Amino acid sequence: MIGLDTNVLVRYLTEDDPEQSPRAVALVDGALEKGERLFVTQVVLCELVWVLDSVYRYPRQEIVSVVRDLLRTRQLVIEDLDSARAALDRYADQGGDFADFLIVERCRAAGCGLIASFDGDLREAEEDVFRP
């Protein structure tokens, strides 16, 4: 299994770099053709959403579509897929920050009854998030 860093995934998805993009496409498509699995961490997902939003200015629904396609790709192993799906659904529906939703989902999965945050928007959206 090959782990993918954010920059490789961004080059693969955007094909924006004349040198790196073809190499990323060859790596990912080659692995998929051979039946090899590729590993994507939750940190990579958070960075990917941030880059597509902040750098490439993708509309939110396009980001949701891209990430949803990644989560459905059978040869990609997504770290804690259930939390990633739940965070993406909330990101699509509620308009908050994907990373914040993922933090909440991971805390809940770990058995946290409460989550401390100074993020006012997150506290408004979540009953179990409080200001310390």
> Which percentage of the chain shows pLDDT scores above 70?
100
Q: Return the pLDDT at 96.
A: 82
Mean pLDDT of the 58-87 span: 95
Report the C-alpha gap between 64 and 78 in whole angstroms. Answer: 15
Q: Say if strands 115-116 and 129-130 run parallel, antiparallel, or are unpaired.
A: parallel
Question: Amino acid identity, residue 95?
Answer: G
Q: Looking at the predicted structure, is the pLDDT value of residue 68 above 90? A: yes
- List the domain boundaries for the chain: 2-130
Residue-averaged pLDDT of the chain: 92
Segment 22-46, tens digit of pLDDT: 999 999 999 989 999 999 999 999 9
Alpha carbon of residue 76 to chain centroid: 12
Q: Find, among 92, 33, 35, 39, the residue nearest to 67 by Cα.
A: 92
The two tokens of residue 60 are 């939110």
Asked which of 63-72, 84-93, 118-127 is least confident by mean pLDDT, the reply is 118-127
Architecture of the structural domain at 2-130: 3-Layer(aba) Sandwich (3.40)
